Chains A and B, each alone.
Chain A
């Protein structure tokens, strides 16, 4: 009885949530239409405004980031443009449109493109782990656990030997699936917290140490992509694609995994 109530409650909650979402979706659709129109009519500032509204509402997808980046590119805002192209690539690293337009935006940056280090087996693995979708992993974990219990019950109550055999095998498989999904998410979370790509905004100085008085190693211009390795009192230990490292103030960059305020 209790379980039934709980399930009912969950369903109801889910329903309310989805109702709220539909409302939001409708609003977002309206903004989207407006933004698309503005972009087509080359009113890029208006387009940015509408796309940003959707972004601020917490809804997003690759297309939104791509279109927003395009609008920023057309308004010559190189930093924001690259930022949103890269965000779109985080969702779908294989999108050709994004890659093509990102190349355009990168031509606007003042820094010479650096030759990135060849990815090692480890970094390639980490890169693919980071790409896993947490939603799928979550449903995988849940489904695995529920199936495990179901098959365990079948095994226990199974009338025939065959039923018991299958119940046992499937219960084991489900349990493994559930735990693998969970640990995969653990891994993903761990590596995602380590993978902190960010885009430089404005002109910043990369220094030897996290202090204003530390000698400057090199300047970075808007639009450069860096990896934040560590953070200390508003300073970030950053690495460029070619492996060059240094410290810069975190106020001069925007992390790609950051959610809109």
Chain B
């Protein structure tokens, strides 16, 4: 019994002790205002809270306010882990009656015989506000706490330099966004654009304009400006379905949400697109902006005629890959080149387009030979380094072998030409012999030496003429020479005649010849022209007397006769002296 009593006593003591501990907690009696500054048309809620039950609550006089409701009492009391918590609140809803600075006075309560008072609080009542905050609808909350913004990675890019525009949704505390639609998609005039898909919407806390939000990326678009100057990006408008928490709570104390719809637009953005520099712009520049590598690769360089090879022109890198053309492969005209096959393998990422574009050419040599495919040059503008870069490739030499088909394949469209199959004309070897000579100078028309040699003989002509005339003047002319020769002959034949005095035939022949030569010399006539009449005439002209010429003619006649009718030797002597006399007389008379 004793024991039981002791246990009960112990328990009581514990209850008391705990009670005492609870009693020992500091007694609080406080006032709290829903706001300290309010518009005339707003309401003020005043709560007086105590943590111990008390008696004789006395509300202060609310000067400048009219009590709309109250006092309303709410009490809560609970035991948690053996700790009792208690709270009792007296609430008033007040309506200000005039502008100004008012004081909420002290309220009194008696707890355990002691009087507690709250502190006085000042409240400022201002002009009526447009929309009393305490009448905020779900829509208002949504409008205030849900925003969409756009961010651009670069506002002054170069032409064709990729930029990224990101549309973000910012959500204020407590608001849930359940769905969104783009109502008015931005038009990217003068931009090449590529939408980047968003795989997951992840919320991240951010601070925007001093307020903290949860942000999520709604949309990302890659833009490549295609025009220089100030370009504006029109606002993007989204329609958002949101749930806004209300003041009401459900059975479990969770706030109740009210649905609302928010139509939000981004701000308009101006992009200032810079022109690519004109200076040092390479000729091979076709508008590529970024950073690239350039290759030209054949799949083989030696092949048979009539078979195909492929040459790939490839650009790899980061930049506006879809927005420029690859340099065209130039091949010797004798190679058959087909239109290239274009391949693109491009990934769009937040940093821009990245990947490879290539043109693959199929080339068929129809004739054997060696065909150099010249190297290509590809230029691009590097916006980071702000300069042009040119990448060039080496010349490729294609060897087409096996001439059996050459020539034929080119003529395949001819229906079995009747002419024998054209043999492949091989490349001829060098010539083994030479006839090297100085290269003929342009022309001799302007050559002085030519004229000297050419015209010299013409100069010789007057010299010759002068020489002839000179000799004539000296009486030593050509006629005189002839005469000299003739008279020499005359004397010679005369001498012969003298020697032939014994033989009449040769005597008269010599005598005649002598006289003929004499006449030739004297009269400058040929033997053929020697008739007696002409001789007489000519002699007369030279002033020879008729008597002398008569004797000469007679002598000539006698010579002619003597050759046919031989005479005595005495006659010959006579004739010889006569001839001598005639010739001497002729000489004399001519001289005079």
Contact residues of A with B, CB < 8 Å? 3, 6, 10, 21, 25, 28-29, 32, 36, 39, 54, 58-64, 66-67, 70-71, 73-74, 76, 78, 97, 100-101, 103-104, 106-113, 133-135, 137-138, 141-142, 145-146, 148-150, 152-153, 156-157, 178, 182, 185-186, 188-189, 192, 221, 259
Contacts and interface: CB of A to CB of B under 8 A. Distances in A.
B438 interface: yes
Contacts of B457: 145-146, 148-150
Contact of A113 (B333, B430, B431, B442): B333
Interface SS of chain B = loop
A192 B439 CA distance: 15
A142 B451 CA distance: 9
B439 to A, nearest CB: 5
Interface string B15-44: 000000000000000000000000000000
20 contacts: A25-B436, A32-B434, A59-B437, A60-B437, A67-B431, A100-B427, A106-B334, A108-B334, A109-B332, A109-B333, A110-B330, A110-B374, A134-B444, A142-B450, A149-B460, A150-B457, A152-B461, A156-B468, A185-B444, A192-B443
Nearest to A138: B444
B440 A110 contact: no
B334 A107 contact: yes
A176 to B, nearest CB: 15
A192 B442 CA distance: 9
A100 B438 CA distance: 26
Given A73-B370, A73-B427, A76-B395, 18 more contacts: A28-B436, A59-B438, A61-B436, A66-B431, A67-B431, A70-B430, A76-B370, A76-B397, A100-B428, A107-B369, A108-B334, A134-B440, A134-B444, A145-B455, A156-B465, A156-B468, A186-B445, A189-B442
Interface in B457-476: 457-458, 460-461, 464-465, 468
Contact of B435 (A36, A63, A104): A63
A47 to B, nearest CB: 8
A103 B425 contact: yes
A6 B371 CA distance: 59
A60 B427 contact: no
B367 interface: yes
Interface string B414-433: 00000000000101111111
A54 B371 contact: no
B331 interface: yes
Given A3-B460, A76-B397, A148-B457, A188 B443 contact: yes
B453 interface: yes
B332 A138 contact: no
B371 A108 contact: yes
Contacts of A188: 443
B436 A107 contact: no
Nearest to A66: B431
Contacts of B430: 36, 39, 63, 66-67, 70-71
B339 interface: no
Nearest to B447: A138
Contacts of A153: 461, 464
Given A100-B425, A109-B332, A189-B443, A61 B397 contact: no
A60 B436 contact: yes
A110 B427 contact: no
Contact of A60 (B367, B428, B439): B439
Nearest to B478: A157
B444 A110 contact: no
Contacts of A32: 434, 436
Given A58-B439, A101-B428, A145-B458, A63 B433 contact: yes
Nearest to B433: A63
A76 B374 CA distance: 10
A238 B365 CA distance: 31
A221 B455 CA distance: 50
Nearest to A88: B431
Contacts of B478: 157
B385 interface: no
Contacts of A29: 436
A97 B439 contact: no
Contacts of B332: 78, 107-110
A202 B587 CA distance: 95
Nearest to A107: B334
A25 B438 CA distance: 10
A142 B454 contact: yes
B372 interface: yes
Nearest to A60: B439
Contacts of B333: 107, 109-113
A100 B428 CA distance: 7
Given A21-B438, A28-B436, A145-B457, A104 B443 contact: no
Nearest to A6: B456
B454 A141 contact: yes
B472 to A, nearest CB: 13
Contact of A185 (B334, B445, B460): B445
B375 to A, nearest CB: 12
Contacts of A138: 444, 450
A152 to B, nearest CB: 6
Contacts of A73: 370, 427
A109 B334 CA distance: 8
Nearest to B465: A156
A234 B468 CA distance: 60
A61 B454 contact: no
Contacts of B456: 3, 6
Nearest to B333: A112
A100 B450 CA distance: 39
Contact of A36 (B374, B432, B439, B454): B432
